[in-house]
Amino acid sequence: MPAKKKIATGNAGLRSVIPTGLKDLDFAEQVYEIARQIPKGRVTSYGAIAKCIGTGKSARLVGWAMSVCGKVKPKVPAHRVVNSAGVLSGKLAFKTSTYMEELLAKEGVLVKNDKVVDFKKRFWNPSEELSL
């Protein structure tokens, strides 16, 4: 019964980057809000974010939201979000195919063969850390 908690973001700019009548602007806002709270040097997964929001099974939608996050301001640390296997599945969406890995390395997160090293230890669970 703890219905989803609405997070006030005021992402007015988001409207302009989303094409036609997007229904889940609300969803996207929450995804970004959580993503921005990922501590430096930590990573999380799409599914974890989806679960934290409450949609649970809509991990794909989190990925979709991230695909347009590059146009959103303030900037979203999308490089800290990987899939459940710890793979940098979205690295191709960055400026260069190595940019995502570089950003992570810069924050102390080592990436080997497109996968986060010690992913389990680096994993940051929003549902727990945000005390939801």
Asked if residue 37 binds DNA (CB under 7 A), the reply is no
Q: In angstroms, what is the minimal distance from the CB of 96 to DNA?
A: 13
Q: Is 75 helix (H, G, I), strand (E, B) or coil?
A: coil
**What span, in angstroms and rounded, lies between the C-alpha atoms of 41 and 96?**
21
Cα–Cα distances (Å) from 42 to 10, 106, 114, 116, in that order, read 26, 12, 16, 10
Q: In angstroms, what is the minimal distance from the CB of 86 to DNA?
A: 9
Q: Which residues pair with 112 in a beta bridge?
A: 115
**What span, in angstroms and rounded, lies between the C-alpha atoms of 39 and 95?**
23
The DSSP symbol for 87 reads: B
For the segment 69-108, give every residue that binds DNA (CB under 7 A). 69-70, 78-79, 81, 83-85, 89-90, 92-94
User: Which member of 2, 8, 10, 57 binds DNA (CB under 7 A)?
Assistant: 57
Q: In angstroms, what is the minimal distance from the CB of 10 to DNA?
A: 20
Q: Which residues bind DNA (CB under 7 A)?
A: 18-20, 22-24, 45-48, 55, 57-64, 66-67, 69-70, 78-79, 81, 83-85, 89-90, 92-94
